[in-house]
Amino acid sequence: MDSMAGSKPAVVWALNLSVLALVLLWIFPTLGLFVSSFRTGDQITASGWWSAMFPAEQTLQIRAADPDDNRVEVGDDLYVVEGNLFEGQDFTGEMNAWGTSSRALGAFQPGDTADLGDGETFTLEADGAYVWQGNGDQISGRAQRVFVDATTPPEFTLENYNFVLFDEDNSEGMARAFLNTLTVVIPATIIPILVAAFAAYALAWMDFPGRALLIAAVVGLLVVPLQLALIPLLTLHNAIGIGKGYLGVWLAHTGFGMPLAIYLLRNYMVGLPRDIIENAKVDGATDFQIFVKIILPLSFPALASFAIFQFLWTWNDLLVALVFLIDATGETTVMTRQIVELLGTRGGDWEILATSAFVSIAVPLAVFFAMQKYLVRGLLAGSVK
């Protein structure tokens, strides 16, 4: 025997490890996005999400008060500016070192005095209090720039979600994009299921000329990339007047999702017991009655399996929405496009982008976990006789 009784063969261990690796590949990015959505931009820049529970070291660039408005003359052409660097700053950490040049970030310790040349000095205490001293020409113009090397404690905030969901400047766009996405996704999931269910039943249980060729065509269409059909289909939609609205994008998603839907449902329906259908026909049931009262209820795992795929695909789609849902006013912008616009207008605000991205995947995650028990049953349907 290749393996002893009670021990697992190597292929089983390899399969388990592969599944574990795939699960981790799904969990880590999602968990990272979730954690980052509760962090500030400075924390995201300073450290990775995996260290969110630990203090982080970061360098802050802060300017002192405006010298022209805050300087006080204390002698013959000798001026002083006093203040606190952390005043008005959201800073709760501890200063480790500081500097006045980007080439020497940690040149001085808290309490040290930096010689800026020509008698100009800058003294900075650990609590942020500073004394900037020099003559009238030196204490003028732009404020002194200070680089603070600090250790900040872990901090989590709900302000990111407050901005994305409730802020007047942004929430209206996200809320409209959320509703627009639902408007696209729900019909684009239901329509191909309804059409494909009828087609799958016909290909599985009805005899007619050319059935084998149709099944082969469906299998062949599974490997055809949708990008090949974008321009011809858009041209057709524009010719008949549905190229810039919801109807066009519904039909596009229906066409692109139909081969997989028919393939999954047909494989499942072929595996159903033939005796049930034959007994129903003996009792006088029509094909429509058999389909509605017997096939559809028994095919629910396969229907749910495709619904998961189609919902996730259409929810996360950007390409089809950009091509078939052309909108210059933003009235039909979907969430994927809204996030792209945020990336362009708020490219440095990683906390806003992380929060918006997690909001966009919350619904697909809920749908997946609610229906995942049907996923494997539907995918394996018809593979084992």
Q: What angle do CA 357, 361, 366 make, to 5 degrees?
A: 155
Quote the longest CA-to-CA distance of the chain: 114
Radius of gyration of the chain (CA): 32
Instruction: State residue 188's pLDDT score.
Output: 92
Q: Report which DSSP code applies to 118.
A: T
Distances (CA, A) of 80 to 56, 85, 134, 266: 34, 15, 7, 84
Instruction: State residue 186's pLDDT score.
Output: 92
Mean residue pLDDT of the chain comes to 82
Let me know: does 71 contact 141? Beta carbons within 8 Å: no
Instruction: State residue 187's pLDDT score.
Output: 93
DSSP for 272-333, written as a single string: S-HHHHHHHHHTT--HHHHIIIIIHHHTHHHHHHHHHHHHHHHHH--HHHHHHB--SSSTT-
Instruction: State residue 168's pLDDT score.
Output: 62
Q: What CA–CA distance (Å, rounded) separates 85 from 100?
A: 13
Dihedral class, residue 22 (left if φ above 0, else alpha if ψ from -120 to 50, else beta): alpha
Instruction: State residue 192's pLDDT score.
Output: 92
Instruction: State residue 66's pLDDT score.
Output: 82
Let me know: does 195 contact 258? Beta carbons within 8 Å: yes
What phi, psi does 177 have (nearest 5°)?
A: -65, -35
* Ranges in the chain, pLDDT < 70: 1-8, 167-173, 327-330, 343-348, 374-385
